[in-house]
A = this chain, B = another copy of it.
């Protein structure tokens, strides 16, 4: 695998930014590493960070490059500040950046497939929310999406935070303002009800996670509405050891053509 630290300019955000990219390599001689071959355009997993992270988080906290090597898949890790992957009420248009500019930039730099069957998205915590929202709002772009310890019930979450006076409350205010998010396209439950052809969904959460309740609620909801979701609930908290384990499950679960 190749690891690329890519500093580029976002025309939309009007600022230099960075992404970390992993590309498969067709090699045999790397000691201690299984390496899968690929042919033609490369399938890609967009992998989204959490609230206190930037584009470096996944490579620093997990062995994502090693795990990806087995599957011949590219991994693209962008950064979106504290935005919740939204066009911020007070800040930058990270949703438009993520869903429009970023894929274009990525495809202009690297031989990444733009076929729906080769495109996947996953993320943790705030990025789990971002991954599901992206896949549910643009189901024509993705074959599968995974949320690890995701913020699933953003509307309730935001409502509760809007009453608080702490730093996280301010983060949510900058992202969403004071709107009620229930039923809007920020609300994963609303998006689920609206879409007809959904990508394959995977949802992991630890039972000691402070987001466990809203993950349980999400699972009940999808169950009730007969929306197929692969769930992986097990003992674990909101921490990187859990995500290091679950991202391996996600890669094994992805419906890659090469499998």
> Is A52 in contact with B31, judged by CB distance below 8 angstroms?
yes
Q: Which residue of B lies closest to A92 (CB)?
A: B82
A109 partner, pick from B2, B11, B91, B124, beta carbons under 8 A: B2
Q: Complex: how many Å from CA A218 to CA B42? A: 45
> Is A61 in contact with B63, judged by CB distance below 8 angstroms?
yes
Q: Which residue of B lies closest to A104 (CB)?
A: B26
> Is B81 in contact with A15, judged by CB distance below 8 angstroms?
yes
* Chain B nearest Cβ from A97, distance in angstroms: 13
* Chain B nearest Cβ from A242, distance in angstroms: 8
Could you pull out 18 A-B pairs where Cβ atoms are within 8 angstroms?
Answer: A1-B9, A2-B7, A3-B6, A4-B5, A8-B25, A9-B27, A11-B28, A15-B52, A15-B54, A15-B81, A15-B82, A16-B54, A18-B18, A18-B54, A31-B238, A59-B59, A63-B63, A66-B244
Say yes or no for A134: interface residue by CB 8 A criterion: no
> Is A2 in contact with B11, judged by CB distance below 8 angstroms?
no
The proximity string for A residues 189-229 relative to B, scoring 1 for CB distances below 8 Å and 0 otherwise, is: 00000000000000000000000000000000000000000
Assuming the contacts A2-B9, A6-B4, asked whether A32 and B61 have C-beta atoms less than 8 A apart, the reply is: yes
Say yes or no for A146: interface residue by CB 8 A criterion: no
Say yes or no for A30: interface residue by CB 8 A criterion: yes
Say yes or no for A29: interface residue by CB 8 A criterion: yes
* Chain B nearest Cβ from A222, distance in angstroms: 25
